[in-house]
Amino acid sequence: MDFLEVIEVFSVINAKKYELMFSKFELDSKESILMKKKKIKKGELMKKLLFVVVVIFALCSLVAKEPNIGKTFQAPPFEPRDDVLLQEGFETGNLPTGWTQSYVNGVIDWDYQNGGHYGNPGSSHSGTYNAFFYYDDYSAYSTKLITPAINLSSVTDPELTFWLAMVDWVGDLDELYVYYKTSAGGSWTLLSSYITEYINWTEITLNLPNPTSTYYIAFEGVSGYGYGVCLDDVMVTGVTGTNNLIDEDFGGGTFPPTGWSVIGDGTTNWLSSNSSNAGGSSPEAEFSWTPSFVGTSYFTSPIVATSGQSYLYLDYCHMLNDYSGANYSIGVATTSNGGVTWHLVSEVFPIGDIGPETVSLTVNTPDVGSNNFQFAFFFNGDSFDLDYWYLDNVVLSTSTEAGNIVNLANALKGNYPNPFNPTTTIAFSVITPGPVSIDIYNIKGEKVKTLVKGEFDAKEYNVVWNGTDDNGKQVSSGVYFYKMISNNYSSTRKMIMLK
């Protein structure tokens, strides 16, 4: 049998597989559905075996062109949630509000410009301004640039992140020293020093020791006749304490657990499973494809009081076994009227297996603040196209400092999932009430969508992009950029639509 004959056999079997799938809608009984899915999966196995034969035959025959082998997509883990306690990009072009200077040697101010001296580096790390310390002689003048007081009293694992560029000028180089102190009248303690060249913008991350409620950080620039000390995108993050409203590991012995229920379709598809596929421990919640249905099923939490809250945190681990994808979605939604109205928090359209992974979401739907708040994990579509979805370690919490804007910042936090198809959720926060816009651009720099435009209060937000442009037309696969502008803050991030 030559190569073309193998391909012909492969094509015939593949056609048989789709003929079997087409007969799905003519089968009514549970037993028929089960038998049909088994037959199709057997056909899938034969297809894979024949595909291996084809590849081996092609390699042995020294076929020049590589086969185009598609890879199953697995959604990346969502980054763990850290509260942003301080964020500064120096985009006002002046000493930021709340920041101060302290002269150590000489009277040289920190300046704010785009890049370093004589274009070294050529631009700021992001936006149009960075902090800049420079003097054109060897006098070793030095000045501390000092943050406002930061409340780290209830924060674990606080970290300082900043971007540094410091270019050598024919052997001459400036220096940067980072200090901290734990009170306004306390003494400065050296945290780290930078006395070598950073020719390109480099991200620096430091753990912050001895956290207090009045914590200060200082960046001391020392002139050495280099091209200057360039500092940008300073951020302090940490995990604040939380109050758990719901903490469910599905190990209580009954299912659904007390207060949980299933709303809509698929009431018998949700069950307890003596497995640990989601990444937690046995048992866990499971959504099964059988009995097969087409519709929406909501696995709904107990009612909790959220009065006084403007946003909540939802953390959970999950794992999904995809079957054929494309015809369903999974996600999280909220309600405050018993499921009459649902508000979307996050939605994923799987195109392959997902996880196991841990997901962290900020919830700020209109239901937050209600004393009848509920959230639900939902399945929407044709359950036949999924095998199983596992859930565990579900925690709904509120920050102990909820509503305190010291934990907020103007920040474009990222999108999940990424890559995505065709929807993704973009998280952002606002520290000062005012106008906010988020626009989406294609790889050519052309604006395809104005996603957000309006006045926003100081809190955290999620917004969903469904992959359409301003005319409602679905955009094509590829790389896209989303840019947030709020007051003097500007940030751009990248995302990928993968169909």
Is CATH 2.40.160.20 the right assignment for the domain spanning 83-240?
A: no
pLDDT surpassing 80 at residue 489: no
CB-based contact 179:222 (threshold 8 Å):
no
In CATH terms, 241-403 corresponds, of 1.10.10.10, 2.60.120.200, 3.30.530.20, 3.40.50.10610, to 2.60.120.200
Secondary structure E strands in 323-444: 328-335, 343-348, 354-363, 374-382, 386-399, 411-416, 424-429, 434-442
Q: Per DSSP, what are the bridge partners of residue 485? A: 437, 490
The whole-angstrom separation of Cα 301 and Cα 250 is 12
Segment 217-231 shows an average pLDDT of: 96
Are the CB atoms for 325 and 405 separated by under 8 Å? no
**52-56, 76-80, 263-267, 351-355: which range is least confident on average?**
76-80
Q: In the prediction, which pLDDT does 40 show?
A: 46
What is the 8-class DSSP label of residue 99? -
Instruction: Assign 13 a pLDDT band (cuts: 50, 70, 90).
Output: very low
Residue 435: name the closest of 413, 418, 410 by CA.
410
Task: Give the up-direction half-sphere exposure of residue 471: CA atoms within 13 A in the CB hemisphere.
Answer: 5
Contact 229, 218 (CB under 8 A): no
- Residue 5 has what DSSP assignment? H
What is the band of 409 on the pLDDT scale with cuts at 50, 70, 90?
Answer: low
Residue 306 CB partners (closer than 8 Å, separation 6+) = 245, 312, 367, 368, 369, 370, 371, 373, 398
Residue 257 carries which DSSP code?
Answer: P
Q: What is the pLDDT of residues 255-294, one digit of tens each?
A: 999 999 999 999 999 999 999 999 889 999 999 999 999 9
Helix, strand and coil in the chain, % to nearest 5: 15, 45, 40
One of 3.30.930.10, 3.90.1110.10, 2.60.40.10, 2.60.40.4070 is the CATH number of 405-499, namely 2.60.40.4070
Averaged pLDDT, 372-394: 95
pLDDT-based confidence at 327, cuts 50/70/90?
confident
Q: What is the pLDDT of residue 433?
A: 77
Burial class of residue 480, CB neighbours in 10 A (0-12, 13-18, 19+): buried
Name the token pair of 171: 């052997």
* 8 Å CB contact between 140 and 224: yes
Please report which confidence band the pLDDT of residue 59 belongs to, taking 50, 70 and 90 as the band edges. Answer: very low
State how beta strands 343-348 and 328-335 pair. Answer: antiparallel
- pLDDT of 80-134, one tens digit each? 445 678 889 999 899 998 999 999 999 999 999 999 999 999 999 988 999 999 9
**Alpha carbons 302 and 97: distance in angstroms, whole number:** 44
In this prediction the pTM is 0.47
What tokens does 312 get?
């909540």
| Stretch among 82-91, 169-178, 348-357 having the lowest mean pLDDT | 82-91
pLDDT at 387: 93
Task: Tell me how far apart the alpha carbons of residues 99 and 88 are, in angstroms, rounded to a whole number.
Answer: 10
